[in-house]
Amino acid sequence: MTMIAVLGNGRVGGSLALALTRAGHEVTVADRSPGSAADAARAAQIVVNATPGAGSLERLVALREELQGKILVDVSNATVDGPDGLPAGLLYPGSSLAEHLQEALPGTRVVKTLNTMLYTVMTEPAALSQPPTAFLSGKDPEAKQVVRGLLVDLGWRQEWMTDLGGIETARATEAAILFVPHVIRSSGFAPFAVSITR
């Protein structure tokens, strides 16, 4: 059993927290208040960032002390939204939220994953007609191995995971969010994910 703090209590955070709890982990969900997040992060071994990406950097930098030495699983995308509320651009073009988090939190091991899919797929990958791909980006191999274990607990098979390399590779997966509004407008709000087939 692992002590996990999920920062963000929306659809993404709620789904992940429920699935991780069912898998046997001790999970605390923090809302957006600084005190709640600090308490949750301080007690956890692993922290999941499921806060809205546009404000994630500011929120997490405020938790630098609590996140020291922890694994931070970043599932958010930092986007500029269009008039319809769907992503219309990247907040950090030429970079990524994950890179900014790792630079701002050098004592924290940031792993980017699960950000290339609709939130329902994060916890039910086998529900799709074809296997999706969960990408991992991060500079710490041990941290990525721990996160792989969490993905298995969420229903992901090892062969559905692809380690892209260092944290700088997160800029590629974060850019994939720009597919989302077009897919939704074309096919509706149905579960989907990016998948690498060979």
- SS3 state at 7: strand
CB neighbour list of residue 51: distance below 8 Å, 6 or more residues apart: 7, 8, 13, 32, 59, 60, 76
Helix axes 141-153, 11-22, angle to 10 degrees: 80
Q: Token pair 């950000």 is at which residue? A: 115
CA dihedral (105, 51, 7, 112) in degrees, to 10, reads -50
Could you give the CA distance from residue 18 to residue 11 in angstroms, rounded to a whole number? 11
b/e burial code for range 119-158 (CB count within 10 A of at least 16 → b): bbbbbebeebeebbbbbbbbebeebbebbbebbebbbbee
Could you give the CA distance from residue 112 to residue 78 in angstroms, rounded to a whole number? 12
Q: What is the pLDDT along the chain (198 residues), one digit of tens a residue?
A: 899 999 999 999 999 999 999 999 999 999 777 788 999 999 999 999 999 999 999 999 999 999 999 999 999 999 999 998 889 999 999 999 999 999 999 999 999 999 999 999 999 999 999 999 999 999 999 999 999 999 999 999 999 999 999 999 999 999 999 998 899 889 888 899 999 988
Could you give the CA distance from residue 24 to residue 18 in angstroms, rounded to a whole number? 10
Domains in the chain and their CATH numbers? 3-187 (3.40.50.720)
pLDDT at 80: 94
Single out the residue of 24, 81, 70, 79 nearest to residue 48, CA to CA. Answer: 70
DSSP 68-127: TT-EEEE----EEE-TTSSEEEESSTTS-HHHHHHHH-TTSEEEE-S-SB-HHHHH-GGG
- CB 107, CB 67: distance < 8 Å: yes
Single out the residue of 167, 161, 153 nearest to residue 71, CA to CA. Answer: 167
pLDDT at 142: 98
Which DSSP symbol is given to 169? G
